[in-house]
Amino acid sequence: MLDENRIKEAQCNVRDYVNDGRLKSVNARDPVVGRILVNNSKESLKVAKILFENKHSDMWTIICSYYSMYYIANAVLYKFGHKVGEKNPHKVTIDSLIVYIRDKLKKAILQDYEDALDEALNLAGVRSDELMEFFDDERKKRGRIQYNTSEQAKRSKAQTSLERAEKFIFELEKLL
């Protein structure tokens, strides 16, 4: 679960990103941009599955899984009027998700659990935070795996990445 310090850090960072232009508000959204990001997400997940199932490359399974999450995250941010710039886009994306999308995601998840509203409120908060952590963890793991991990350790991490990406995309697509 995201702790309060991480949420506050994201809020401070997002203010800085807006001020220095790394995150922009978009009033007129081009539907083509959203479709491209969603298609990139689906293609990245498809490639990750192929790589994993055929045991081609655990490192690239992790990288493609991460990018499937990254693209869908940016599609959702774009839909809600936020465009990530080119400077440090991965960190800007996760911080922006935490600030702008986390609560919207809670609401979308709640719709799936209408019959158990009391239980779902807690579950949705935990699940929403878990998805934010998935993305942040995968962002960090991608860097470590790409440069510093043995082949044996990559296989297990690749499977986790693929599973997280599938869950992340499933939930964020509800916001599109």
Q: What is the pLDDT of residues 76-129, one digit of tens each?
A: 999 999 999 999 999 999 999 999 999 888 888 766 655 554 554 565 676 788
* pTM reported for the whole predicted model: 0.77
Residue whose pair of structure tokens reads 């019959």 in the numeric block: 115
Question: For position 106, what pLDDT does the model report?
Answer: 82
Q: What is the DSSP letter of 81?
A: T
Question: For position 55, what pLDDT does the model report?
Answer: 93
Question: For position 124, what pLDDT does the model report?
Answer: 63
**Is 173 in contact with 72 (CB distance < 8 Å)?**
yes
Question: For position 5, what pLDDT does the model report?
Answer: 96
Residue whose pair of structure tokens reads 């992340």 in the numeric block: 168
Residue whose pair of structure tokens reads 């809020």 in the numeric block: 11
List all residues 6 or more positions away from 58 whose beta carbon is below 8 Å from its beta carbon.
51, 52, 145, 151, 154, 155, 157, 158
Strand partners, 82: 25
Give one word for 81, left, alpha or beta, with left for phi > 0 and alpha for psi -120 to 50. Answer: left
Distance CA 82, CA 143 (A): 25
What is the residue type of 54?
N
28's enclosing H/E stretch is none
Q: pLDDT tens-digit profile of 15-68? A: 999 999 999 999 888 999 999 999 999 999 999 999 999 999 999 999 999 999
Residue 14 has pLDDT above 50, yes or no: yes
Question: For position 120, what pLDDT does the model report?
Answer: 45
Q: Residue 79 is encoded by which pair of tokens?
A: 């839909």
**Is 159 in contact with 62 (CB distance < 8 Å)?**
no
